Structure 1
Amino acid sequence: MSPVWGRAIFSFDIDKHSGPAIVIEAQNLGSFEWHRSVDPEDARELDRLRQDGHNVHNTRRGIEIRVTPDSLRNTVLYRTLLHEIGHHVDYERCSEDEWDGKTRMVKEDYAHRYARELKTLLSSQGKLPFDPIISDDSLQADGLAREWFCLP
């Protein structure tokens, strides 16, 4: 298993719900390390992380990426979510054989382009960014605590 920001799942079952889903992975604030050898796709991802507001710098052991609440929000909400929606859009546009015939890179390129274009459109319409929405009633109904989602 490798950590990811999110996943597009085309057939997902949980409790009484079934169908396509986007799963956003829980993340920690702080920092994480990347390997020192960077291929072209890694370099593009590092550029996207910098654009999201992460502090990316070289260390003796590799590349350290420092995560802040704002940079994490930018990556997960304004890029990853839109990227995973792009995978679903792409999947729905294809037959099963067409989808299976696409390389991973072709699928990723489509999802990155989709996310970038949708973010640009939503930003130009004033819909992004938006303030955090925290509903105490919803948190309580789900057995969650507000402090789990807010900085102390």
Structure 2
Amino acid sequence: MRVLSGLLLVTAALGAVGAAVLVVVLHVGFAPVLSPSMSPSFEAGDLLVTRSVPTADVAVGDVVVLPRPDAPGERYAHRVISRDASGGEVVVRTKGDANPAEDPQALRIVSDTVPVAVGDLPAVGRAALLGQHAWVRVALIVLIGLAVLVAAKRALLRPAR
């Protein structure tokens, strides 16, 4: 049992280091799909793998992850259906693949780079969907706190060798 738990710990650590390398070196990011608006391309609960590209390189047909203008702090992923860079800044219109109409607002992109979807991990983002509920976040905080307390108790009460 100890060997198995050790292998699981090593595997998790290597996975975390690998993800960190992807994020820092290759500028790869991740974004959960929160609604069915991109179906059938991406389903709610999928995890998008994104890569930051220069704003000037964003093209019609790209699936971009942008801030929601009506909900500060939230982002959404939709497909670019038109692009205008005539005024010196890039302005895009987007649409969810499953939506009958384009999004109501044109978005002016002011950042140097934009996350563009390069792939997806089906159903992996479901954990992020659970995180939308306050009770799940509170439960996770409590569980992590209890694990830290149990580990501290074991470390402090361990008999000296």
Tell me the TM-score normalised to structure 2 length: 0.25
Q: Which has the larger radius of gyration?
A: 2
Q: Which has the higher contact order (CA 8 A, sep 6+)?
A: 2
Q: TM-score, length-normalised on structure 1? A: 0.26
- Which of the two has greater strand per residue? 2
Q: Answer 1 or 2: which has greater helix percent.
A: 1
